[in-house]
Amino acid sequence: MSEVINKVATDATLTEQEKNWEIFSVLGMRWSEVTELTTEDKTFLLDKVESVKGQMRAQQFAASQM
């Protein structure tokens, strides 16, 4: 899971497939739903992916400090 956490979902160099994977794997949406998203919705959700991953990083860091 750390590989997914370390990628930046909003990175402009990600392929469409990689962006879809970020949304699918982090937010748990169905693949068929992800591939039907508008560009605007995908951009919004990728920002949310980064927010969730930030929380995951913080939890990992806190756990490593115990």
- Would you state the structure tokens that stand for residue 14, as one six-digit string? 């990600």
pLDDT in tens, 14-41: 999 999 999 999 999 999 999 999 999 9
- Would you state the structure tokens that stand for residue 55, as one six-digit string? 């929380």
Backbone phi and psi for residue 34, each to the nearest 5 degrees, phi listed first: -60, -45
Q: Give the span between the Cα atoms of 53 and 21, in whole angstroms.
A: 14
Whole-model pTM: value is 0.83
Higher per-residue pLDDT: 65 or 41: 41
Residues in the chain, how many?
A: 66
Q: What is the DSSP letter of 19?
A: H
What's the rounded mean pLDDT across residues 40-58?
A: 95
